[in-house]
Amino acid sequence: MDSLLWHDGKFLGISWSIWKVVGWLGNAIFFSRFFVQWYATEKLKRVVVPTAFWWLSLAGSLLLLSYALFYQKDSVFIFAYAFTWIPYIRNLIIHRRHAEAHLTCPACSENCPPHSRFCLTCGARLIPAATPVEHQA
């Protein structure tokens, strides 16, 4: 068994360094998004993309970009991850804005979708959040 795991001073046949750990960690984090999305979809019985999916995407792609830049130094690999973080951050911003736009029911404290007139749980009338008034000069 030792010969399968450790051979010629290599674990699993890989010469390990800090950048190899960063690269494998990035792959593991990026791959874990699959399980997060699968679990969320199965739980709700509809296709959903949870916030954790975007955080894992961002962390995994930044680790893989670091690995490509500082260890691999391969232009194809670098370009593959150079811009992937942009939609991940954008989706996190959109999610946060959407979550902040939800209304809280004054009767039961349930979190209701934006632009709702009535609470989906208790039926109480919802009071829309005050929007800031722009002052004209």
- What pLDDT digit, counting tens, does each position of 37-89 carry? 999 999 999 988 999 999 999 999 999 999 999 999 989 989 999 999 999 99
Nearest to 112 by CA among 94, 128, 95: 128
pLDDT at 137 over 90: no
Indicate the helix (H) or strand (E) that contains 103.
Answer: strand 103-104
pLDDT at 11 over 90: no
CB-side exposure of 82: number of CA atoms within 13 Å?
Answer: 9
Assigned token pair, 86: 């942009």
CA 34, 35, 41, 44: dihedral to nearest 10 degrees? -160
Q: How far apart are CA 5 and CA 17, in angstroms?
A: 17
pLDDT digits (tens, 9 = 90+) for 93-121: 999 998 888 899 999 999 898 888 999 89
